[in-house]
């Protein structure tokens, strides 16, 4: 539960910078990300293989570092959405949101009455195990929890305006690989069809004053998308950051060692 909550962050168009956690749910990961300057983390459970006990522990690590956490769940099923919120996820991200009806169904699972029908569980992880008046706690949970709807299908782009118009949807998040595949141009992120789709989603967010985000692999891509109106920029991820940094060091050392063979010792 960081100094600035995710819903407050969604209400500004300032740059919010974070990273993607898909492999290393270690006790120090929250403080490592915070020390690196992250404003948030995106914790993946769609492709990572992380299960509930790991999610619950990792959210505590990020809370300890006062770093807001978006948990991407693997489906639009109630038990994935509500359970992530119960475990303390401040933001919940849903894959492949295609229209306003789906967005409203997700909100019904995510929000307590009167905004939704999430099963009530108080005095547990999401409210820091504290007691308090029931109605106040339900209202506080609703105010705290942010919804990040992924636009990663051709249908989602077509309906981006109606999705962004739904009250309670805080951010549209482009899933660039899946979107390119849905458009029939997998991996072609400079294709005019892909760029038109990006422009459509960005226009919807501007119209309805909603945040807009995506993963970016490098600084130039991040700056390009910042200029397109994207304010949540998730820079790379734990696997690739380690891999690139390690490969750079190992390759550099290997090349240097080839050119400077050690001198033979004299007897």
- Active-site residue set: 47
Find out whether 72 and 44 touch, Cβ atoms under 8 Å.
yes
d(CA 143, CA 267): 77
Spatial neighbors of 49 by CB under 8 A, at least 6 apart, are none
Backbone angles phi, psi at 147, to 5 degrees: -110, 125
What is the dihedral sign for C-alpha 64, 65, 66, 68? negative
d(CA 180, CA 29): 31
Find out whether 190 and 127 touch, Cβ atoms under 8 Å.
no
Q: In which element (H, E) is residue 121 found?
A: none
Q: Is 263 exposed, middle or buried (0-12, 13-18, 19+ CB in 10 A)?
A: exposed
Q: In which element (H, E) is residue 173 found?
A: strand 169-174
H-type alpha helices, 17-112? 29-35, 52-64, 78-86, 100-110
Backbone angles phi, psi at 70, to 5 degrees: -100, 125
């Amino acid at each position: 539960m960081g100094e600035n909550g995710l819903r407050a962050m969604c209400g500004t168009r300032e740059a919010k910078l974070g990273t993607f956690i898909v492999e290393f749910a270690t006790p120090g990961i929250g403080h490592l990300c915070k020390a690196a300057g992250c404003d948030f983390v995106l914790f993946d459970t769609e492709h990572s293989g992380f299960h509930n006990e790991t999610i619950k522990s990792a959210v505590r690590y990020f809370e300890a570092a006062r770093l807001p956490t978006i948990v991407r769940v693997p489906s639009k099923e109630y038990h994935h959405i509500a359970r992530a919120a119960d475990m303390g996820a401040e933001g919940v991200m849903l894959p492949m949101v295609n229209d306003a009806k789906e967005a409203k169904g997700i909100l019904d699972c995510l929000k307590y009455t009167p905004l939704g029908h999430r099963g009530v569980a108080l005095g547990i992880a999401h409210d820091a195990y504290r007691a308090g008046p029931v109605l106040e706690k339900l209202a506080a949970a609703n105010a705290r929890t942010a919804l990040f709807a992924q636009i990663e299908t051709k249908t989602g782009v077509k309906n981006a305006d109606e999705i962004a118009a739904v009250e309670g949807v805080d951010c549209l998040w482009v899933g660039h690989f899946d979107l390119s595949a849905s458009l029939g141009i997998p991996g072609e992120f400079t294709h005019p069809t892909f760029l038109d789709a990006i422009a459509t989603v960005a226009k919807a967010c501007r119209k309805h004053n909603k945040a807009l985000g995506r993963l970016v692999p490098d600084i130039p891509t991040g700056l390009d998308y910042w200029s397109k109106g994207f304010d949540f920029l998730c820079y790379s991820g734990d696997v690739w950051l380690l891999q690139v940094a390690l490969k750079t060091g190992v390759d550099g050392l290997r090349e240097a060692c080839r050119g400077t063979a050690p001198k033979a010792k004299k007897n």
